[in-house]
Chain A
Amino acid sequence: KAGVTQTPRYLIKTRGQQVTLSCSPISGHRSVSWYQQTPGQGLQFLFEYFSETQRNKGNFPGRFSGRQFSNSRSEMNVSTLELGDSALYLCASSAAGLSDTQYFGPGTRLTVL
C-alpha cells in the first residue's frame, strides 16, 4: 500500500504571497490532518478533514485554510505569507475514527523570504 504523499516537497515563497500544499492519503483512509512543525513551536495541529468537512481546527489564524476533495485528497492554503510561516508542513491520514492512528507523509518544507 502506498503511503501518504505530499507535494511539493520544497517550496520557496516571498512575504505576502500565497501557497497551496497538497496531500494524498493512504488508499482507503478518509481522514486527513495537517500539522506545522517549527523549531520554536514544535509540532502543532492545524486542522482535520473527513468527507470534505472540517471536523477539527487548531489555533491558527484564518490565513491558514484547507479543503478536502471527494477522493479524500486534501489541500491546505496559506495566504499573505509571513516569515514565521516558514516550517515543515506535515499531512497525516487515518481511517475515520476519533483517535485512529495517523500515518504521516514526508512533509513540505516551506521557506518564506
Chain B
Amino acid sequence: AQKVTQAQTEISVVEKEDVTLDCVYETRDTTYYLFWYKQPPSGELVFLIRRNSFDEQNEISGRYSWNFQKSTSSFNFTITASQVVDSAVYFCALSEMFSGGYNKLIFGAGTRLAVHP
C-alpha cells in the first residue's frame, strides 16, 4: 500500500545551522511523483518541489536542496544556513500515476521545524 513516512516529528535548530528533513515512501507503482510542501503558521500549504520517479537528479534551489534515492525510497530535503523564516511544518507527499488516480496526494505526518535566533 502507498505510504509516506516522516519519522522526525519536530526538529529544533539555531539559525545558520544546516538541517535535513527525512522522507521515506512506499508504492507499488513504477511511475509516481514526490512533492515537498511548507506550511507556515498561516496554514496555507506552499509548494516547494515536484519530482517524478524517473528523475533521480538531485536539485538545488538557493538554500534548499533535495536528494532523491530510489534504491532506498527516500526523498530528503536539506535547508542550508537555516533562517528563522524557515520555521514551519514541512510535508512530503506522494502521487501515484496509476494506483492513486487523479491528483490524490498522500501526505506524510509532517516535520515541525523551529529555527531559533
The chain A residues found within 8 Å of chain B, CB to CB, are 31, 33, 35, 42-45, 48, 50, 55-56, 58, 88, 90, 92, 94, 98-107, 109
Contacts and interface: CB of A to CB of B under 8 A. Distances in A.
Contact of B37 (A33, A99, A104): A104
B97 A103 contact: no
A106 B43 contact: yes
Grouping DSSP codes into helix (H, G, I), strand (E, B) and loop, the A interface class, with mixed when no group exceeds half, is strand
A6 B50 CA distance: 24
Interface of B: 32-33, 35, 37, 42-47, 50, 91, 93, 95-97, 100-110
B103 A43 contact: no
Given A98-B97, A99-B95, A45 B106 contact: yes
Given A99-B33, A104-B37, A45 B44 contact: no
B102 A107 contact: no
A25 B37 CA distance: 18
